[in-house]
Structure 1
Amino acid sequence: MAHSMPLVAALLLVSAAMLAVAPQTSAAVSCGNVVSDLAPCIAYAQGKTTTLSAPCCSGVRNLNNAAQTTADRRTACTCLKGTVGSIKGINLSLVGGIPGKCNVKVPYPISTSVDCSKVT
């Protein structure tokens, strides 16, 4: 164990140096954001509840406000498409209506068939 301590320290130092020189991105949206913002909407999207919760609509608004660039909107679209397709019991017609029911205008349809590369 004592022999591994210098190796661990060296690895930590190299990792810290790599982070310090890594290019910083300015993306405001990640798949983690999409999932955490929209998680409160899952019960509605599965038809388990008939009304949207305040946290769901808040998440939709937060995500829409964060996705201000084409790259962010494409990231959000791709993540939505993948997430919706991976959760069992999702009713796609309910999902597509969530932004409108939350009074949020999204510049692309929420659908597993949308071509996210064409989102602007």
Structure 2
Amino acid sequence: MANVKLACGLVLFVVVAGALTTEALTCSQVASALGPCLAYLQGQAGNSPTAACCAGVRSLNSAAQTTPDRRTACQCLQSAAKATKFDLSIAASLPGQCGVSIPYKISTSTNCNTIK
């Protein structure tokens, strides 16, 4: 039941946040790419992300090639972390776990406006 509520909350977040963003990359795309990572990000899926999760991380990294897109991805990740109660230490390690390097730390304290 908690997972259903969580999924509904994530969908609501995606709809609202997606409507607010004007960049090429949208929060809907971020949420879709990271959907397979949700259980892992909440500490419910063992010590390593699934292949589907890492494929989503790589896809998101490929989509976020411009400064505005990287900033949007950062803001969407922060909002999703707050809405879905990600384990921030797991979220921060996710790119490295999937062999991806991003130019900022996934954290609710990251200033997304400084990302280049």
Q: TM-score over 0.5 for the alignment?
A: yes
- Specify the TM-score bucket, using the shorter chain as the normaliser: 0.7 to 0.9
Aligned to 1:70: 67
Indicate if the aligned counterparts of 2:81 and 2:108 stay in contact, CA closer than 8 A. Answer: yes
* Larger-gyration structure (1/2): 1
Q: Does 1:118 align with 2:96?
A: no
Q: Following TM superposition, by how much is the alpha carbon of 1:91 offset from its aligned partner in structure 2, in angstroms?
A: 1.1
Q: TM-score, normalized by length of structure 1?
A: 0.75
2: distance between equivalents of 1:76 and 1:53?
21
Deviations 1:31-74 (A, max 9, x none): 00000000111101111111211111000000000111000000
1:80 aligns with 2:77: yes
What is the distance in 1 between the residues matched to 2:66 and 2:28?
17
Whole-Å separation in 1 of the counterparts to 2:40 and 2:72? 23
Partner of 2:17: none
Give 1:1-120 correspondences, 5 Å limit: 27=24, 29-50=25-46, 51-88=48-85, 90-120=86-116
Root-mean-square deviation (CA, aligned residues, Å) is 1.3
Q: Which runs of 5+ in 1 are unaligned?
A: 1-24
Q: Which runs of 5+ in 2 are unaligned?
A: 1-21
- List 4+ stretches of structure 1 deviating above 4 A: none
